[in-house]
Structure 1
Amino acid sequence: MEHGDISYISLLVIVLLALFVPIVINKFKFLPIPIVVGEIIAGMIVGKSGLGLIEESSWLTFLYTFGLVFLMFLSGLEIDFKFIKPARREGQKWHKDPVVTAIMIFVMTLSFSFAISSLLKNMGLVRNAYLMTLILSTTSLGIVVPILKEKNLINTDFGQTILLSAIVSDFGTMTLITFFIAFYTSGATYKVLLSLLLFVAFFVVHKAASKVTKNKVIEDILHELSHATSQIQVRGTFALILVFIALSQVLGTEIILGAFLAGVIVSFITEGEGSQLSSKLDAIGYGFFIPIFFIMVGANFDIKDVLSNPKAVILMPGLLAAAYAVKFIPALMLKRSYPLKMASAAGFLLSSRLSLIIAASAIGLKLGILSKEVNGSVILVAIATCTLSPLFFNHMMGKVEEPEKKKTFIIGINEKSLLIIRRLKKIGVDVVAIAFREDKIDSSAYAGGSLHIGDPSDMEWLRSTGIEQAKTVVVSYADENIYPKVCKICDVLKRDVGIEKVILATNNSKVPSCIDLESVVAISPDFASALIIENLIIAPNATEILFQHQDEFYVAEIKVHNLDIAGRAISKLSLPGDCLILSILREDEKIIPHGNDVLEFGDTLMIVGSREDVERVRFMFSGIQYLGGA
């Protein structure tokens, strides 16, 4: 077999660096740098800036290019739509809408970036002000999302605003870079219009894929072929990536936009059930292709050219200052809704840049729009911002405790809801009751607690009851005449208030057609009776324990929020009393626990034991000292 100009030595060096860089960074935790930054630095050491061990070849260039493509695909896949809540709430001023705010921040960023880029061009430091404008306007979703999750901010209004700003920035600059390259390389407007066909293909494929994947027959086939040697979902994903890359090439647009849109499609159609597929794609990308890209970026970067060029020496600190200014100043508009310190922290986090800025700079270098010195300065800016920005953000925000939602709200007072209230209060659940004005309320039958009477379909009144702090809301009704009101309440709870778990308890076997059963759990008498009878037949002892021995046995869902617990195997834990872990829920994956299973931060565990011991476990896994009774 002919090997031609293939040199496996260069690939071996790159793969060994990809293997050892994460180990070194993890070992020396005092180095607060992302792994990809370590890969770029490692590439500089073995490349043109250092030892010169990497030989350029066509096949290595292909791996480098496909690494860039796969990086852009995973950037699109990172847009997790389950984290994006509905935007503006009723009564909220339009200019405080998170989407409007994100767009305004992006427009201001573009304006400031263009002003600074024009100044740099007039000074003779850059060749093209338009591409530099787009380079300065980028943001790294890959840094923003993990930081927001780590700080428990991803589901807050503040976190949503930052997240949407990052998404708008990523998607906006990606699209504008594609349009710019199309116009720059051809000089024809029709080339830019051809780029729009890529978005037409995006919507067509998205609609078609959504319908196909929801087909029961196809769903069964995909599930059957998703394991072992077939891995049909992974194959389908690569086919989708190449369809959009080929289409981009035919249309004369940049392939990175096609890859990005393919990632967005996969994120759309696998929402809520794609964690296993995402893990496989992450393994392929971050395990092989993407490290090659970043190491090659470092290997091709000659720092001697940058440091020996007086213009580059001036440009580097200027670009770094500009990179922070164009994000920090627009972010100050958040001061209308949040304290100055939080708005400033958002500006620092949005200033982090990594994947897209390096990709845009690499394209500019390839087309001759950027010089080697400018490309080198951009890479150094990316390294600096993605290292410093999270540190600034964490320092300014301090420790953020996510407000724990403990209360259960029962809307509608009737015999069924009163029974639910009594049973919940018996086991110590904090219950708040909300009655319709037309409900017949026997105050003697309601044993204490919070009771609000009004119109739950009125969102402002509903908010005044404190329902936003509810963990679960049960809507119970018996009168068919209030179907429209019940439907409006369920819609308000999910869309405007953002309650994750809404349960509809109806006395009728037929659920109102206006209820969205994908977002609301509907429990009818027929369903409940059938479920209990089924459990009494299949697991009579377990059912008896759950329904008749609640004082002796208690089952609870507990999240792992203690960093000292995360990363430890179950066999290494010493749980209080006779507590047992029945199951582990990790994102969308349900795991049957074994002794060698390692817990991860954010896991939801189902624990069984006495009430006292389960509460001890709850505090143990939250990292808070237990102060309950002995």
Structure 2
Amino acid sequence: MSFALLALICAVALLGPLLSATRRLRLPVVVGELGVGIVLGMTGLRVLDATNPTFEFMGQIGFALVMFIAGAHLPIRNQALVKGLGRGASRAVAIGVLSVPAGFGLAWAFGTGHGPLYAVLLASSSASLVLPAMAGADLGGHDALEFLAQLAIADAACIVLLPLAINPTRAGSAAIGALAVLVTGAVLLVILLLAGRKGRAERLHEFSQRRLLALELRITLLVLFVLAAVAVSTGVSVMLAGFVAGLVFAAIGEHNRVQHQLFAISEGFFAPIFFVWLGASLDLRNLASHPAAILLGLSLGLGALILHTVVGVVSRQPWPLAGLTAAQLGVPVGAVALGSEAGLLHPGEGSALLLGAVVTIVGVAMLAGRARRTLGASPAQA
């Protein structure tokens, strides 16, 4: 790793926002960043070496920050969310139950033996992808609250289950590591809540802002990296550590200033590095020699859209909202990162998982406008 390569990564990462600027589709920036990594990595020019320890470590920091943002996006402080918890949870559970036979069926059909992984992917959602797509919509009605509750439950549950599902042979040790991260996160949450009582949090915020110290940002990064250290030492991915750290600060409620600082650090530097690194680590030439992987990716993406939409329609959820809950981003990206790192995926399988995610992202782009209009026309919001 050199400054020249770092400058190249930062330069090509600018193509991500440019490629996402299409008004009609509004594809997430990560699609462009992954594409750049694919072109410059193993698949294409091989300018970027994804096995470089420094590049890989910076990518892991980016991974943790991406999952932090995903966890922080969950609206767990929204007290009105309780009203939609029952039906939202029941839909998430129904989709999870139906995802098991669907996932194992796909694993049998394609001979991969990764039924648990496919089940988690089919059941997952992505609040970090859907909520920005719903910007400007009124999220106060009963349909919206049920939708948000379903998103939050599916997103959180699948991220926790992914380390267990991707390698069932070590599910026991993964469960212990996940529990250690969750317990550490709970302890840190209690410490932060106690430390912020009696106006101390506001005084710290005002002092930090007045003296330009960025103390809250430093505390946030400290919590994130403590959890990442616990995760790595117990054999769990930093994916879970980042997500739990995001949940901690979502529960506390960050100031907008800290949110903007974290967003700048993540989206301005480390997240692009992660997605470029992830793209560089993939060899899409395997798809040419394993065309079944293309069919697997399409099956995962379309299967998720169909499954979520059918369950939603049967339970009287507006179909555009039901389709949006099929959005995938963090879970398939995490699966590819974890699977590639541990050598668990078959040739072309990692690319297939990302192809499935792209199918759902295209679905989000097509459904978001109709979903916003549906919420705007809801009788509960009139």
TM over 0.5: yes
Match in the other structure for 2:139: 154
Match in the other structure for 1:75: 70
1:229, distance to aligned residue in structure 2 (A) = 5.0
Match in the other structure for 1:278: 259
Paired residues for 1:205-604 under 5 Å: 205-217=188-200, 219-226=202-209, 230-270=213-253, 274-335=255-316, 338=317, 342=318, 344-395=319-370, 398=373, 401=376
- Specify whether residues 298 and 213 from structure 1 end up closer, same or farther in structure 2 by C-alpha distance, changes over 3 A only: same
Aligned residue type for 2:243: F
Aligned residue type for 2:188: V
Residue range with higher mean Cα deviation, 347-356 or 301-310: 301-310
| Higher relative contact order, structure no. (Cα contacts within 8 Å, ≥ 6 residues apart) | 2
Q: Which has the larger radius of gyration?
A: 1
1:36 corresponds, among 15, 22, 30, to 30
- Specify whether residues 84 and 53 from structure 1 end up closer, same or farther in structure 2 by C-alpha distance, changes over 3 A only: farther
Match in the other structure for 1:11: 6
- Specify whether residues 183 and 31 from structure 1 end up closer, same or farther in structure 2 by C-alpha distance, changes over 3 A only: closer
Instruction: State how far apart, in whole Å, the 1-side matches of 2:47 and 2:339 are.
Output: 25
Match in the other structure for 2:39: 45
Q: Is the 8 A contact 1:76 1:263 kept in 2?
A: yes
1:198, distance to aligned residue in structure 2 (A) = 3.0
Instruction: State how far apart, in whole Å, the 2-side matches of 1:241 and 1:146 are.
Output: 23
Paired residues for 1:52-201 under 5 Å: 52-56=46-50, 57-88=52-83, 98-150=84-136, 152-180=137-165, 184-185=169-170, 189=172, 192-193=175-176, 195-201=178-184
Other structure's SS at 2:49 match: coil
- Specify whether residues 240 and 123 from structure 1 end up closer, same or farther in structure 2 by C-alpha distance, changes over 3 A only: same
- Specify whether residues 399 and 177 from structure 1 end up closer, same or farther in structure 2 by C-alpha distance, changes over 3 A only: closer
Match in the other structure for 1:514: none
Aligned residue type for 1:36: V
Instruction: State how far apart, in whole Å, the 1-side matches of 2:262 and 2:201 are.
Output: 21
1:339-371: CA deviations, max 9, x gaps?
xxx2x1122111111122211222122223322
Residue range with higher mean Cα deviation, 278-287 or 193-202: 193-202
Cα RMSD (Å): 2.7
- Specify whether residues 299 and 213 from structure 1 end up closer, same or farther in structure 2 by C-alpha distance, changes over 3 A only: same
Match in the other structure for 1:572: none
Other structure's SS at 1:87 match: helix
Aligned residue type for 1:359: G
Counting helix residues as a fraction of each chain, which structure ranks higher? 2
1:393, distance to aligned residue in structure 2 (A) = 4.0
Q: Is the 8 A contact 2:27 2:365 kept in 1?
A: no
- Report % sequence identity: 20
Instruction: State how far apart, in whole Å, the 1-side matches of 2:115 and 2:167 are.
Output: 16
Aligned residue type for 1:235: R
- Specify whether residues 58 and 193 from structure 1 end up closer, same or farther in structure 2 by C-alpha distance, changes over 3 A only: closer
Structure 1: give runs of 5+ residues left out of the alignment.
1-5, 89-97, 405-465, 470-630
Question: How does the TM-score come out when normalised to structure 2?
Answer: 0.90
- Specify whether residues 30 and 99 from structure 1 end up closer, same or farther in structure 2 by C-alpha distance, changes over 3 A only: closer
1:31, distance to aligned residue in structure 2 (A) = 5.0
Counting strand residues as a fraction of each chain, which structure ranks higher? 1
1:37, distance to aligned residue in structure 2 (A) = 1.2
1:182, distance to aligned residue in structure 2 (A) = 7.8
1:398, distance to aligned residue in structure 2 (A) = 3.9
- Specify whether residues 287 and 228 from structure 1 end up closer, same or farther in structure 2 by C-alpha distance, changes over 3 A only: farther
- Specify whether residues 295 and 194 from structure 1 end up closer, same or farther in structure 2 by C-alpha distance, changes over 3 A only: closer
Question: How does the TM-score come out when normalised to structure 1?
Answer: 0.56
- Specify whether residues 284 and 361 from structure 1 end up closer, same or farther in structure 2 by C-alpha distance, changes over 3 A only: same
1:190, distance to aligned residue in structure 2 (A) = 6.3
Instruction: State how far apart, in whole Å, the 2-side matches of 1:166 and 1:10 are.
Output: 38
1:329, distance to aligned residue in structure 2 (A) = 2.1
Instruction: State how far apart, in whole Å, the 1-side matches of 2:162 and 2:15 are.
Output: 34
